[in-house]
Amino acid sequence: MNLLPQALAFDGFAWPWLLAAAILPLLAWWLLPAGASRDPALRAPWVQRLPEVAAGTRGRSAARRFPWLLLCAWLLLCVAAARPQRLGPPVAPPQVGRDLMLGLDLSASMSEEDMELGGRSVDRLTAAKAVLADFLDRREGDRIGLIVFGDRAYALTPLTLDRNSVRQQLDDTWLGLAGRATALGDAIGLATKRLQAQPVGQRVLILLTDGVSNTGVLDPQRAARIASDAGVRIYTIAFGGSGSAVSLFGFRFALGGGEEVDESGLRKIADLTGGRFYRARATDELAGIYSEINRLEPIKRAGLPQRPKIELYPWPLGFALGLGLLALALRGRGP
């Protein structure tokens, strides 16, 4: 019963410039030459009496109404072509995605030039940036946050759908920005604080480091237990180096040569939180790890509320067709 008032209420036209076509009949009448000659060669004195003769016929009414019906039909067609629209009630479409915090190590050891990218040797940070940038390109629908850590941990971007902003902040990072040491526990604690406000099941931290935690307020294992209690899954990535570290009499030693990497500690952090530990000694291995993380089952959630546009053009189009049929019917009733 409220269909007609809803059709009459609209918020604008999608193509308002098509309304200019409404003046085409007026331009045609004004610009096109008249059908009859203004100075006829043959004058018939009875021509002026034709309107008086027609005044007594039933066709006079139809003759007068017929052009106006067509004009109204044309105006309605122009309105329909301009696509009148009305905004519907707000709806939140379902969205598939995750809430991911990326933790990037900016300590001094990331300056080691033992990575290869595009056929040339680069430092670990440059290689990590390239792989992370490609990972961000695949994160459509995910909210991404970026944390960097060295002597302390810092949040560069909050959780956001604006991947370009995260990529820009990633590009602007440099070695030593957060200090030269590795505060791994502080990075986990800061990420947990940022993620705990999100729904359970969407809290994920991807932590990339190439060294051993050697500074900070929070112990990494204690921070991992706090993250586990908060429902945060941590995927740890040990990047660079060719050996792992062991502790003996209070000293740490690298096994197998190369920079030490606390593989056992990072594996324990992942196990405590229900995540996974990965080892990447080259750029292609790191890219493969992020591709595997990309296949994690996404979470369905409500997207941002939107007001759909409801098309109203069928109403003026239907009235225009009705007037056109009426005009044809009245024309057929003429003498």
Same domain, 14 and 145: no
State whether 37 and 152 are in the same domain.
Answer: no
Domain identity same for 214 and 69 = no
69 pLDDT more than 90: no
Residue 225 confidence (pLDDT): 94
- Do 217 and 236 share a domain, yes or no? yes
pLDDT at 247: 40
Is residue 43 located within the same domain as residue 103?
no
Is the C-alpha dihedral spanning 285, 295, 297, 139 positive or negative? Answer: positive
Give the per-residue pLDDT at 245. Answer: 41
Residues 176 and 116 in one domain: yes
Same structural domain, 148 and 41: no
Is 129's pLDDT higher than 90?
no
Most confident stretch, 47-56, 117-126, 142-151, 174-183: 142-151
Residue with tokens 């902003």: 165
Q: Which of 140-144, 173-177, 222-226 has the lowest mean pLDDT?
A: 140-144
Q: Give 135's contacts (C-beta < 8 A, 6+ positions apart).
A: 290, 293, 294
For position 96, what pLDDT does the model report? 59
- Of 164-178, 181-195, 197-211, the range with the lowest mean pLDDT is 197-211
pLDDT band at 14 (very low <50, low <70, confident <90, very high): confident
- On whether both 65 and 109 belong to a single domain, the answer is no
Look at 68 and 3; give whichever has higher pLDDT: 68
Rg over alpha carbons for the chain, rounded to the nearest Å, is: 37
pLDDT over 90 at 28, yes or no: no
- Using the predicted structure, report yes or no on whether residue 309 has a pLDDT greater than 90: no
Provide the pLDDT confidence category of residue 114 given band limits of 50, 70 and 90: confident
Same domain? For 73 and 148 the reply is no
Between 191 and 37, whose confidence is greater? 191
CATH code assigned at 217? 3.40.50.410
Average pLDDT over residues 263-286: 86
Q: Is the pLDDT confidence value at 250 over 50? A: no
Burial of 125 (0-12, 13-18, 19+ CB in 10 A): buried
pLDDT of residue 66: 53
Higher pLDDT, 98 or 222: 222
* Domain carrying residue 225: 94-302
> Do 281 and 53 touch, CB atoms closer than 8 A?
no
How many domains does the chain divide into?
2
Query: Looking at the structure, do residues 62 and 124 belong to the same domain, yes or no?
Result: no
What distance in Å separates the CA atoms of residue 220 and residue 226, rounded to the nearest whole number? 10
Task: Note whether 7 and 44 are same-domain residues.
Answer: yes
Token output for 95 = 């969205």
Give the pLDDT confidence score for residue 43 in this predicted structure: 55
pLDDT value of residue 222: 93
- Please enumerate in sequence order all residues whose Cβ is within 8 A of that of 216, keeping only pairs 6 or more positions apart, or say none: 151, 152, 153, 181, 182, 183, 184, 185, 186
Is the pLDDT score of 101 beyond 60? yes
Enter the tokens of residue 264: 């056992």
pLDDT value, residue 252: 38
Quick one: 165 and 79 in the same domain?
no
- For residue 49, pLDDT over 70 is answered with no
Q: Determine the pLDDT at residue 40.
A: 53
